[in-house]
Every structure is written in C-alpha cells, then in structure tokens.
Amino acid sequence: MIRLENVTRLFDNVAAVDGFSLEVDQGEVCVLIGPSGCGKTTTLRLINRLVEPTSGTILVNGRDVSRTKAEVLRRSIGYAIQSVGLFPHMTVGANIGVVPGLLGWGKERISARVNELLELVGLEPRQYAPKYVSQLSGGEAQRVGVARALAADPPILLMDEPFGAVDPLTRQRLQVQFLRIQRKLKKTIILVTHDLDEAIRLADRIAVMQSGRLVQHDSPERILASPANKFVHDFVGVDRALKRLSRISVEEFIRPTPSVTTSATREELSAAIGGHRSVWVVDGDGRPIGWIDRASLRDPGQLNDITVRADPAEMYVTGSDTLHGALSRMLGLGFKSLPAVDDNGRLIGEITLGDIEKATARGENMDHV
C-alpha cells in the first residue's frame, strides 16, 4: 500500500531521513517511533509531499507520489496532527468539512458526513458541530482532528502525535477509541509518536528510527522480545516484560468461575466455593458486588453479612482490558484474582495472577525464538 524505497532527505546537507525503506500493508497500523529529531515526522511528511525527498522513491498503491499533483494526493490521504491543526476560525463542522469541500461535495452530503463522523468519534453532532475549536477540551479537539482526517474516507491516514497534547487518562481513552474505529474502518495508518506505550498499544508493526535510519521494523511483541540492537534495547527499557502485557487482552485469559447470590443457601455456597479460597458474590442481575472467603464459611450469619463488599467499578475487568491494566489493578487492590464482566456488567469469569505470570513467562520465552 505504502512503500518507501531508499528515501533520503537532506536539510542543509544533514540527512533527516537517510536511506530509509519501509513497507506498510493495507489495513495496517504502522507506528514510527524514535527519539526527537530521528526523522519520524519528516518521514511522514514525505508521504504526502509536504517534504520532497532528496533521493529515493515513495509509492502509494504502487504509484510514485511525485507523479501525482501534490494537492490531489493530499486530498486522498487523511492528515491529523496535534490539536493545533484545527482551524480556529471555523466551527467543528466546517473543520471536518474542509476536505470534502475541496473535493467539491454538495452541502448536504458534507453535513451528513460531518454528523456521521462526529458520531463515530463519540461527539454528539448537534451539540458539537456548531462549536468553535476554542470551546473544546483537549480530548474533544483531538477527536475532531481524527474525524477531520477521516472526512473524505481516505484509504490512508497519516497521524503525527494525534493524541499528544492531552492528559494520560484522556489519551488512553482516545487510544481505545482509535482501536475500536480502526477495527471497523481498516485504514492503512502511519502514526508518529515518541510514546512507546502508545506504539505498543496501537501498532500492528512498529518502525523504530534512529538518526534518520530504520533500526527495526517488527511487531510490538517481537520488538519487545528481541530488540535488534542496543539502541532499541535501551529504547524499550528494562520494563519491557510489563510493556508486553499491555499488548495482551484479558479476553483469552478469562476462566469460568462459580458465583453465588446473597439469597443462595448454605449448600449452594459450599458447592460453589468447592476447593477455592473464595467465591464471587453477584446481585440479582449477575453483577459482581463482592466475595465470600472460605474462612467465613464457619460464620453462621446471613450470606449478606459475610459478604466482603467492594466497589465493582474498581475491581472488575472487561474483555477489552489488557493484562497490564488487570495486573496493575490487582497490585493496587492486593487481590490475586479479579472478576471479569461483559458489556452489561455481568460476571462472566475471572482472571488470576497466576495466569498473568504464565503469560509473562510465555513472552520471555520468545527471547529465544
């Protein structure tokens, strides 16, 4: 889909990008990462011809980009940068409608598209379309930025730190949303970041750059497990085992677990707890509300009284959480297992510390592959 062949770009005789070759497949998220000044942004801008290469070829869909008129090329490639990129003199709706407007779409088609995109990024169209950029929070502005890049439904998106200027919590939410949207739209995306966690979370493949050169181009798992050289090794850091966990979703580690309601009989409770140390307690709708320890079985009181209650929102995990998130929650709460719930908050199983340890060990073994 996108191919850079031996591309070099000199600025005042210094190579910002140096003999760089990269191939990005259709529907793939490729994250360019590296320390500042490594040429990742320049590489991105070479693709939509905001920067012209000194030598080398860039192909999009097998076609040399230098043969397409720059404006025409750019209208077929979505481009999102940090929120500064939104036009302050236009409303949110007008901002999103810029490229469709350039492409000559009719007014109604544009406004329908604007509404569709605002809904896609989770902003209520009637409320947000007439707003000005200065009225948006950082997170909202960046969502609008993404919506704008998607406006003309381009097959390719170039994103330069699209989630850069927001707080970590918002950033994480945006990343989750990004993945959800990408699963639906399957765009070919090249994303630039200097945040390794972001790269690991979002990328199908990561391209690590160092002073204009490609050092390693591989899946996040492989990059973490077997860094190509000392630079990549140092870049991914000593906590790569932990980082790897943020690539693994909780889903495949959820194991079925018995549960009881507070109205269960003593016999049902004993049967449910079996050989375990504790059993989850759910309410009438199947939502976890706490647990009962084996030690409390001897307590003759009501089930309701021997139940240890906990804030469900704080303890449960869902299938889309990562092992990294599950682990940090376990450590925070001091639990050895957490209840897993479905989209409606109903208990579907649990995830245990032992399983996470096994997953970590499995990753470590990849070092020797």
Partner 1 sequence: MFKRQGRRWIVLAVLTAVFVILLFQMGWWEAALRTIFSRDDVLYPTASLIALVGEHMKLVALSSGLTVLIGVPLGIWVTRRSGQSFLPIVTDLTSLGQTFPPVAVLALAVPLFGFGLVPTVIALFLYGLLPVVRNTVAGLASVSRETLEVAYGMGMGRLQALMLVELPLAVRVILAGVRISVIINVGTAMIGAVIGAGGLGSPIIAGLVQFNTAYVIEGALPAAVIAILLDRFLGNIEKSLAFSPGERNG
Taking the complex as a whole, the smallest distance from the CB of residue 190 to partner 1 amounts, in Å, to 13
Place of tokens 């200097």: 194
With respect to partner 1, which residue has the nearer C-beta, 61 or 304? 61
Rank residues 148 and 187 by Cβ distance to partner 1 and give the closer one.
Answer: 148
- In the complex, minimum distance from the CB of residue 218 to partner 1, in angstroms, rounded to a whole number: 29
- Nearest distance, CB of residue 338 and partner 1, angstroms: 43
Closer residue to partner 1, CB minimum distance, 81 or 118? 81
Q: Which residues contact 232 (CB under 8 A, 6 or more apart)?
A: 208, 215, 216, 223
Q: 38 CB contacts (<8 Å, ≥6 apart)?
A: 209, 210, 211, 212
Residue type, 118: L
Question: Smallest distance, Å, CB 188 to partner 1?
Answer: 17
Token readout for 170 is 């918002």
Nearer to partner 1, 97 or 288 (CB): 97
- Kindly list the residues in this chain that would bind partner 1 in the complex (CB under 8 A): 45, 48, 50, 70-76, 79, 81, 84-85, 87-90, 98-99, 102, 132, 134-135, 148
Beta carbon of residue 33, minimum distance to partner 1 (angstroms, whole number):
21
Based on CB atoms, which residue is closest to partner 1, 92 or 260? 92
Output 67 or 183, the one with its CB closest to partner 1.
67
Residue 231 to residue 203: CA distance in whole angstroms: 20
* Closest distance of CB 165 from partner 1, Å: 12
